[in-house]
Structure 1
Amino acid sequence: MREFELELAAIAVSQPIGDFFITSIPARDLVEISFADVRRLVTDERDIERYLGIQRPLSTRRVKEIKKYIEGGDATFPTAVILAVDERCVEFDEKASGCGLLKLYAFDPEAGVDEDSIPWERIAKVLDGQHRIAAFMDEKTHEYSFGDREFDINVAVFVGADVSEQASIFATVNLAQTKVNRSLVYDLTELAKTRSPYRTCHNVAVALDDEESSPLYERIKRLGTATPGRRREPLTQAAFVESLVAFISTDPVADRNRQLAGKKLRRASVGELAVCPFRNMYIDKADVDISEILFNYFDAVRQKWPRSWINLETSGNLLPKSNAFKALMKFLREDVYPDIVGSDFGLIPSTRQFYKYFKDLDFRDSDFTTKNFSPGNSGQAMFLKMLRGEVTREDLLELD
């Protein structure tokens, strides 16, 4: 006896990987019927755990990010969540040209059906998209958590695929497709009509990259790949935007959603500005002031180490690159700017004021090498210690 049933308009699709159905399922129903299966394999060679086949482990951080995104007024998931459904739980009534009615159902477990019957809450195995589905759930009850809000999810349903076929589908989706570069994502924010922290940071990056007198002129790799006609772009737009947005907001997605809904942001107190020093400038739409502060700050860096700053051809030169930039931005946000302005956040310091924080550092142009500052987070941390005077040039030479 059928106890639960879901009827969906669907299109049958035939591709080399196999036949499947394209349909739309309300998020509430998708939460009810789906589950994720994580398979673990321990390799003898490295004695480490690798996850194969069906799904990656759930990332709580990623789920929270998506949940915030869903709360926005323009949330969308145009790409399909991929499900595998047992053939015992599916019927398809084809009408014409592949269109038809797809029925997903489960049996009442108390109706005496065979012991292998599949319960309603486990008829759809998630091959790709578990984080999107989890974002619609309450993290404690695992029930739908968005009240009466309607949100349809585009899904691809594979019927009767065994474990090896499911693994093949997972690998095809997650390994064969190229991920979108973060720099390109930030560049596309220019097309947005609503003001947001990320859009402002993108606009500042564009302004400093386009201005010929700027210390960052033509140094920012805007689309994640080299810009035609430029000799070298050592700084990614992703590194620029992600470093600058910390000056503006502790939760840029929530700020964007509030502004998208037509709500005003509350001005920051002096204590809050100690964490996000450019927040009120952002609220006041003073993007030009933000650009000028960064212009003057990096002009001071350029004056302190002119040969390293201009030398974009030597691959081992750290100073122009993203890791050094991130350290310099953290130094500006946590140390330099608050020290200069006191409680007068919004002030635009001059290049001379910024230069005072570099003039006594005993590091030379020739010191910014991967030998002294290794690539990655450790080199970035060492660079920040150098800026703060916690390590000296002699310290690095001793490490050699």
Structure 2
Amino acid sequence: MEIIEKQYIDVKCIKANQPIGPMFIGVIDSEDLEKITYADVRRLIDGSENREVEDYIGIQRKLDTKRAKNEIGKYVNLVDATFPNSIILAISSENAEYIENEGVLRILYKDDIAKVLDGQHRIAGFEYYNQTRGTFELIVTIYVDMELEDQAIVFATINKEQRNVSGSLVADLFSFAESRSPQKTGHNIARALNYKEGSPFYNKIKILGNADSTSETITQSTFVESLLKYITKDKQLDRDFYRRNKDKKHAKLDKTESKDVQRLFLRNLFIEDDTDIKIAQVLWNYFWAVQQKWPNAWNEPANNNILNKSTGFIALMRFLKPAYLSFHKPDQVITKDEFKSIFDLIELEEQDFNRQKYVPGGIGQSTLYNDLKSQSGL
């Protein structure tokens, strides 16, 4: 049987006319898109050669292969993966022809004939897509015979002042998820501890849409991310598991695997307890002991006080691990008095928690963490 390779991709398109010129909006299978595209990475041309060409050509940023594999490569295989935004391409008319009466853009099926103006990381991530999951089509916007200058303008316009989504917004949005996930657990615990009177976090967490700068000193995002590192190695894959297996639970960590059991010491509580009450109780008891030890530094939002801000909170969350593990009671709730017995050993005074001693940021966090460890003997 003779195998005939396809020569063209026929893309049903909508043609849109804009001041920069016409563009064609359609859908291409991810596998085909990988074949026909390339990224024109910014590069320097020796001034002694190609004198008619500008010194700098190319408009794309260097491909971050780690991001393509570890972030997007994993994401494309999730049960609810989606890319609603368009990938933007520029193609020469030598390789593409618009058949107006059919509304079809016919593209030569050949390696590297379409330049990626936006979306190179998305396309690169599909190198790791499991094709047995079925077709994954991507929206594309295609310019034909676009001048290099216009390509640069489009790229700059797309990427100008591009802002990341707030981490606290991401955490808050997981409250709408029906299935279980580490992110939803983190969000639920943050809200519960923030709104419960008597909690050491009462009105201290900046929950999205309810910010009171006079008392709230820790962002929801900081709280959730600091907690999740003790629950999951891969929050996206955990979320994907529960989306696919609504009535099942993850296998608990094997206690013989001491490295994972210590690093993820709250994971089995997450797996066992669908209500997340036990994890919340661990945090409540631990930070109750902090509050008892340094009531003013923990409760007062003074500008020079770092204990109840991200510097102090992140250091304390790091110290939670050796504090919890020191009792050798895996998968159990450590009591208030047990945590208090550790903080009773620490000699730091309330006035020590200032920006001069513990500089805001990573250095201050590490210094405070090391002081807590050395003074407690853990």
State the TM bucket, normalised to the shorter chain. Answer: 0.7 to 0.9
What's the TM-score, normalizing by structure 1? 0.82
Given the alignment of the two structures, is residue 383 of structure 1 paired with residue 368 of structure 2, yes or no? yes
**Aligned counterpart in structure 2 of residue 321 of structure 1, from 296, 309, 333:** 309
User: Relative to 1, partners in 2 of residues 1:159 and 1:219: Cα closer, same or farther, differing over 3 Å?
Assistant: farther
Q: 2:12, 2:27 within 8 Å by CA — same for their partners in 1?
A: yes
SS in 2 for 1:74: coil
**Aligned counterpart in structure 2 of residue 187 of structure 1, from 157, 172, 176:** 172
Find the aligned partners of 1:34 and 1:12 in 2 and give their Cα distance: 21
State the 1:145 CA deviation: 5.1
User: Relative to 1, partners in 2 of residues 1:228 and 1:266: Cα closer, same or farther, differing over 3 Å?
Assistant: closer
SS in 2 for 1:136: helix
Given the alignment of the two structures, is residue 53 of structure 1 paired with residue 53 of structure 2, yes or no? no
Q: Which amino acid aligns with 2:138?
A: I
Q: 2:88, 2:118 within 8 Å by CA — same for their partners in 1?
A: yes
User: Relative to 1, partners in 2 of residues 1:34 and 1:7: Cα closer, same or farther, differing over 3 Å?
Assistant: same
1:350-369 paired onto structure 2 within 5 Å: 350-369=335-354
Aligned to 1:336: 323
Find the aligned partners of 1:41 and 1:292 in 2 and give their Cα distance: 58
Higher mean C-alpha deviation, range 56-65 or range 356-365: 56-65
Find the aligned partners of 1:4 and 1:136 in 2 and give their Cα distance: 22
Aligned to 1:47: none
% identical equivalent positions: 37
1:291-302 paired onto structure 2 within 5 Å: 291-302=280-291
Q: Which amino acid aligns with 1:128?
A: D
Find the aligned partners of 1:137 and 1:283 in 2 and give their Cα distance: 32
**Aligned counterpart in structure 1 of residue 295 of structure 2, from 289, 301, 306:** 306
Q: 1:300, 1:354 within 8 Å by CA — same for their partners in 2?
A: yes
Q: 1:63, 1:131 within 8 Å by CA — same for their partners in 2?
A: no
User: Relative to 1, partners in 2 of residues 1:384 and 1:150: Cα closer, same or farther, differing over 3 Å?
Assistant: same
Find the aligned partners of 1:51 and 1:310 in 2 and give their Cα distance: 56
Aligned to 1:131: 121
Aligned to 2:50: none
User: Relative to 1, partners in 2 of residues 1:362 and 1:180: Cα closer, same or farther, differing over 3 Å?
Assistant: same
Given the alignment of the two structures, is residue 260 of structure 1 paired with residue 247 of structure 2, yes or no? no
SS in 1 for 2:27: strand
Task: Please report the RMSD computed on the Cα atoms of aligned residues, expressed in angstroms.
Answer: 2.6
Find the aligned partners of 1:289 and 1:388 in 2 and give their Cα distance: 25
1:109-188 paired onto structure 2 within 5 Å: 120-138=110-128, 146-147=131-132, 149-188=134-173
**Aligned counterpart in structure 1 of residue 192 of structure 2, from 182, 188, 207:** 207
Higher mean C-alpha deviation, range 73-82 or range 226-235: 226-235
User: Relative to 1, partners in 2 of residues 1:13 and 1:356: Cα closer, same or farther, differing over 3 Å?
Assistant: farther
Find the aligned partners of 2:319 and 2:239 in 1 and give their Cα distance: 26
Q: 2:38, 2:115 within 8 Å by CA — same for their partners in 1?
A: yes
Find the aligned partners of 1:317 and 1:154 in 2 and give their Cα distance: 50
Q: Which amino acid aligns with 2:334?
A: P
Aligned to 1:66: 72
State the 1:37 CA deviation: 2.1
State the 1:63 CA deviation: 2.8
State the 1:136 CA deviation: 1.1
Aligned to 1:115: none
Q: Which amino acid aligns with 2:114?
A: A
Given the alignment of the two structures, is residue 77 of structure 1 paired with residue 66 of structure 2, yes or no? no
Aligned to 1:241: 224
User: Relative to 1, partners in 2 of residues 1:316 and 1:102: Cα closer, same or farther, differing over 3 Å?
Assistant: farther
Find the aligned partners of 1:188 and 1:26 in 2 and give their Cα distance: 30
Aligned to 1:109: none
Aligned to 2:271: 283
State the 1:90 CA deviation: 2.0
Given the alignment of the two structures, is residue 220 of structure 1 paired with residue 205 of structure 2, yes or no? yes
SS in 2 for 1:388: helix
Describe the superposition over 1:37-69 as per-residue Cα deviations: whole angstroms up to 9, x where unpaired.
Answer: 221469xxxxxxx99832343241453222222
Given the alignment of the two structures, is residue 10 of structure 1 paired with residue 13 of structure 2, yes or no? yes
User: Relative to 1, partners in 2 of residues 1:371 and 1:228: Cα closer, same or farther, differing over 3 Å?
Assistant: closer
Given the alignment of the two structures, is residue 273 of structure 1 paired with residue 261 of structure 2, yes or no? yes
State the 1:209 CA deviation: 1.3
